[in-house]
């Protein structure tokens, strides 16, 4: 499966801000309320999402408030990426083997796939490098993806029940089990 359903697109007509934090809401919208790197959604933990400088501030301080250089990122990916820039050339994000691909580029999609169990799997040499350096192997990405799938399926079951299409003998135990499971899994959000 594809890593994400929709490639993020930064707006090009965003008014320049003196403080890059002022872009937060616009970035969240442009990145579909998802981490640009791992595709974890920000709900219900949007407060823990951060703004990454694609080209790190230590490599190019001129890009600190450049909207085209900002990535809406979960704390895990932002902390893992930090100031890593293996080419040491601000104009060259990767050398074909190591480095980064901007998550707003379509080429980012070719680096990864999502396995049926929710794990992220690298597909290319540079994808392997990014996978390891972003720590996309962390269990939290798999769990958060599965929580989201569970919520989608749960909402579909509720809709079927409202239409009278879910047999009564299954509905009570199924909804009780799903409610309990969702609560347990949502508590995980507080630790990532």
- Whether 71 is in a domain gets the answer yes
Q: Are residues 129 and 166 in the same domain?
A: no
The domain in which residue 180 lies consists of 141-189
Residue 8 within a domain:
no
6 inside domain = no
Token reading at 181: 């499971």
Which of 111, 136, 157 shows the shortest CA–CA distance to 100? 111
pLDDT band at 173 (very low <50, low <70, confident <90, very high): low
What is the predicted pLDDT for the residue at 169? 67
What is the C-alpha separation between 171 and 150, in angstroms, rounded? 16
For the ranges 39-43, 69-73, 97-101, 159-163, which has the lowest average pLDDT? 159-163
- The answer to the question of residue 25 being in a domain is yes
In this structure, the answer to whether residues 26 and 107 fall within a common structural domain is: yes
Say whether both 61 and 122 belong to one domain. Answer: yes
Looking at the structure, tell me whether residues 145 and 115 fall in a common domain: no
Question: 64 and 95: one domain?
Answer: yes
Domain shared by 127 and 157, yes or no? no
**Residue with more model confidence, 90 or 188:** 90
Residue 166 lies in a domain: yes
pLDDT at 144 (0 to 100): 87
Q: What is the full DSSP assignment across 85-139? A: -TT--TT-SB-SSSB---TTSGGGGGGEEE-TTS-EEE-SHHHHHHHHHHTTT-H
Same domain, 102 and 61: yes
- State how far Cα 177 lies from the chain centre: 28
- For residues 114 and 164, membership in a common domain is answered with no
**Based on the domain organization, do 40 and 88 belong to the same domain?**
yes
Same domain, 112 and 27: yes
Say how far apart CA 9 and CA 26 lie, in whole Å: 11
Structure confidence at residue 170 as a pLDDT band (50, 70, 90): low
Tens digit of each residue's pLDDT (9 = 90 or more) over 60-107: 989 999 999 999 999 999 999 999 999 999 999 999 999 999 999 999
Kindly state whether residue 75 falls inside one of the protein's structural domains: yes
135 has pLDDT over 70: yes
| Domain end among 137, 156, 180 | 137
Residues 126 and 168 both lie in one domain: no
How many domains in the chain? 2
pLDDT for residue 163 is more than 90: no
- Note the Cα 124 to chain centre separation in Å: 19
Q: How many CA atoms does the CB half-sphere of 90 hold within 13 Å?
A: 12
User: How far, CA to CA in Å, does 11 sit from each of 36, 56, 86, 143?
Assistant: 14, 20, 28, 31
Whether residues 58 and 75 fall in one domain: yes
102-121 pLDDT tens trace: 999 999 999 999 998 899 99
pTM of this structure: 0.85
């Amino acid at each position: 499966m594809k890593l994400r359903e929709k490639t993020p697109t930064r707006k090009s007509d965003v008014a320049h801000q003196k403080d890059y934090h002022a872009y937060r809401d616009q970035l969240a919208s442009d990145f579909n309320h998802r981490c640009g790197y791992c595709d974890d959604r920000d709900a219900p933990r949007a407060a823990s999402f951060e703004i990454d400088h694609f080209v790190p501030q230590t490599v190019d301080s001129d890009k600190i408030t450049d909207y085209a250089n900002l990535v809406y990122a979960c704390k895990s990916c932002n902390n893992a990426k930090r100031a890593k820039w293996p080419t040491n050339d601000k104009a060259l994000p990767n050398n074909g083997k190591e480095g980064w691909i901007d998550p707003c580029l379509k080429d980012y999609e070719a680096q990864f796939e999502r396995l049926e169990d929710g794990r992220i799997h690298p597909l290319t040499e540079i994808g392997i490098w990014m996978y390891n350096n972003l720590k996309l192997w962390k269990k939290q990405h798999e769990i958060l993806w599965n929580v989201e799938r569970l919520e989608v399926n749960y909402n579909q079951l509720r809709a079927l029940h409202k239409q009278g299409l879910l047999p009564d003998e299954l509905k009570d135990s199924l909804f009780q089990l799903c409610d309990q499971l969702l609560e347990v899994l949502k508590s995980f959000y507080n630790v990532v």
